């Protein structure tokens, strides 16, 4: 049995594929797995799971005018030819596509070779690559009810986003993992693996208001960590308050899971994986989506999730430190608000997405 994964460029595309691969390794260890794309993204992780990397070029379509779009059109055409040759040599039993520009040549080649395709869409509004892939797909998995309108009803299912098993494991004492004090509620602020500069600045401006009441875990991104730490020290806050401020650049999987579990409230961007993690850990949230001119996905995701009652949304362009602090206090000090948000979060998705998709892939592969 040969199963091939495609879709990359960001962790939001890559790590859900890894979650499904882990599930396949756990339940169908004899399956041959492949990851195809311009780059391996995380070669060590592919090697750890015995996933063979197959190189295939692709071009990127930008949403603005650029001469690079013309060049990349030729890259896509070359990528289709390369993909046809490489898929024919391997002839996988099924292709699992997470979308993004890296998937386009592979999906077109798979359609030409009549290889079954499974598409997974993480966002409330699908990207152009998955809209294309859906035309040829045998099965389409979505993460939001809102996305169903864009796909054929007969082959579309709401599965949620696959999350790696280590994130789902519960820590008996998450505060001990991060060496947090035992008192005061915890706020976890995360901007994703690269951090979020505007969010970092808002938190720094709010330290004097937040630290007397809360413990703060702040994941800043590696490139921003030193700047954030030095800026916090320059505020000359009392040492007993600064001892409640825990700054991380990158967080390991265990640290990230522990931070979610310890938190009474999470402040995050609105990537679909982050929203899924909030739901699986049943955490109230304040979502600050990336502005729409930079990412069309996050604002749509944020409001789709907020309609469930699990989060509030604060637009970055209108946000000040005072407004952020007021919303934090409203959620954590108003009777019943945090509990209602947590209950809504728990209803949003399921931890079974990885196993559902792994079983679906294996069943389709077995028929091919």
pTM for the model:
0.88
How high is the pLDDT of residue 132?
Answer: 94
30 and 42 fall within a common domain? yes
How high is the pLDDT of residue 66?
Answer: 57
CATH code: domain of residue 74: 3.40.50.2000
How high is the pLDDT of residue 250?
Answer: 87
Q: Which residues of 86-104 are buried (b: 16+ CB within 10 A; e: fewer)?
A: bbeeeebbbbbbbbbbbbb
Residue 264 structural domain: 167-348
At 71 the three-state DSSP class reads helix
183 and 268 fall within a common domain? yes
pLDDT (tens place) for every residue of the chain, 368 residues total: 999 999 977 888 899 999 999 999 999 988 999 999 999 999 999 999 999 999 999 866 655 555 555 666 678 899 999 999 999 999 999 999 999 889 999 999 999 999 999 999 999 999 889 999 999 999 999 999 999 999 999 999 999 999 998 898 888 899 999 999 998 999 999 986 555 788 899 999 999 999 999 999 999 988 899 999 999 999 999 999 999 999 999 898 889 999 999 999 999 999 999 999 999 999 999 999 998 777 678 999 999 999 999 999 999 888 888 999 999 999 999 999 999 999 999 999 999 999 999 999 999 999 97
Please calculate the CA angle 347-250-166 and round it to the nearest 5 degrees.
45
105 and 247 fall within a common domain? no
How high is the pLDDT of residue 233?
Answer: 94
Q: What are phi and psi of 118, to 5 degrees?
A: -115, 125
The total of other beta-carbon atoms located within 10 Å of residue 293's CB is: 9
| Closest listed residue to residue 357, CA positions, set 162, 156, 168 | 162
9 and 120 fall within a common domain? yes
Rounded to the nearest 10 degrees, how much is the dihedral formed by the CA atoms of 139, 149, 154, 360?
30
Residue whose tokens read 């994703």: 192
Residue whose tokens read 């691969």: 21
Query: In which region does residue 336 sit, left (phi positive, over 0), alpha (psi from -120 to 50) or beta (all else)?
Result: left
- Give yes or no for a contact between 238 and 266, defined as CB atoms under 8 angstroms apart: no
How high is the pLDDT of residue 319?
Answer: 86
Whole-angstrom Cα distance, residue 314 to residue 325?
12
Residue whose tokens read 């998450």: 174
144 and 270 fall within a common domain? no
CA–CA distance from 303 to each of 10, 264, 368 (Å)? 22, 21, 40
At 155 the three-state DSSP class reads helix
107 and 16 fall within a common domain? yes
Residue whose tokens read 């809504």: 344
* DSSP-H helix ranges across the chain: 11-27, 43-48, 67-90, 104-112, 128-134, 165-168, 174-178, 197-210, 222-234, 239-242, 253-262, 272-280, 296-306, 321-333, 337-348, 353-367
Residue 192 tokens read as 């994703």
Whole-angstrom Cα distance, residue 101 to residue 63?
12
288 and 359 fall within a common domain? no
| Closest listed residue to residue 297, CA positions, set 146, 75, 116 | 146
Q: What are phi and psi of 155, to 5 degrees?
A: -125, 20
257 and 151 fall within a common domain? no
182 and 47 fall within a common domain? no
286 and 361 fall within a common domain? no
159 and 171 fall within a common domain? no
| Closest listed residue to residue 331, CA positions, set 248, 214, 232 | 214
138 and 179 fall within a common domain? no
The total of other beta-carbon atoms located within 10 Å of residue 340's CB is: 14
| Closest listed residue to residue 165, CA positions, set 253, 42, 73 | 253
Residue 139, beta-bridge partner list: 118
- Number of structural domains (the chain) is 2
- Give yes or no for a contact between 133 and 99, defined as CB atoms under 8 angstroms apart: yes
Whole-angstrom Cα distance, residue 241 to residue 156?
51
Could you tell me the sign of the dihedral formed by the alpha carbons of 266, 349, 158, 17, in that order?
positive
How high is the pLDDT of residue 347?
Answer: 95
Residue 111 tokens read as 């359609």
């Amino acid at each position: 049995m040969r199963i091939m994964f495609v879709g990359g460029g960001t962790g939001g595309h890559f790590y859900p594929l890894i979650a499904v691969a882990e599930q396949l390794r756990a339940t169908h260890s004899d399956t041959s797995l492949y990851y195809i794309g311009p780059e391996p993204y995380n070669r060590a992780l592919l090697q750890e799971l015995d996933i063979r990397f197959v190189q295939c070029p692709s071009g990127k379509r930008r949403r603005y005018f650029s001469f690079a779009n013309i060049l990349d059109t030729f890259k896509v055409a070359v990528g289709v030819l390369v993909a046809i040759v490489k898929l024919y040599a391997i002839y996988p039993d099924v292709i699992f596509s997470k979308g993004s520009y890296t998937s386009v040549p592979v999906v077109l080649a798979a359609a030409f070779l009549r290889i079954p395709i499974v598409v997974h869409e993480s966002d409330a509004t699908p990207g152009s690559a998955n809209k294309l892939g859906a035309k040829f797909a045998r099965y389409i998995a979505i993460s939001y009810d809102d996305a169903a309108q864009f796909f054929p009803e007969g082959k579309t299912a709401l599965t949620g986003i696959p999350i790696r098993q280590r994130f789902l494991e519960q820590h008996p004492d998450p505060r001990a993992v991060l060496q947090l004090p035992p008192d005061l509620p915890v706020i976890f602020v995360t901007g994703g693996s690269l951090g979020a500069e505007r969010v970092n600045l808002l938190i720094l401006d709010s330290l004097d208001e937040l630290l007397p009441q809360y413990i703060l875990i702040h994941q800043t991104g590696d490139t921003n960590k030193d700047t954030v730490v030095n800026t916090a020290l320059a505020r000359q806050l009392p040492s007993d308050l600064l001892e409640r401020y825990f700054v991380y650049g990158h967080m390991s999987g265990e640290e990230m899971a522990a931070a979610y579990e310890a938190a009474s409230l999470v402040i995050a961007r609105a990537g679909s994986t982050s929203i899924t993690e909030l739901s699986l850990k049943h955490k109230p949230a304040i979502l600050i989506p990336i502005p729409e001119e930079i990412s069309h996905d996050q604002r749509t995701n944020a409001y789709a999730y907020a309609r469930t009652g699990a989060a509030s949304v604060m637009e970055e362009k209108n946000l000040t430190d005072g407004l952020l602090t007021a919303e934090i206090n409203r959620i954590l000090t108003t009777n019943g608000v945090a509990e209602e948000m947590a209950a809504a979060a728990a209803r949003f998705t399921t931890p079974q997405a990885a196993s559902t998709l792994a079983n679906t892939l294996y069943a389709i592969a077995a028929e091919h």
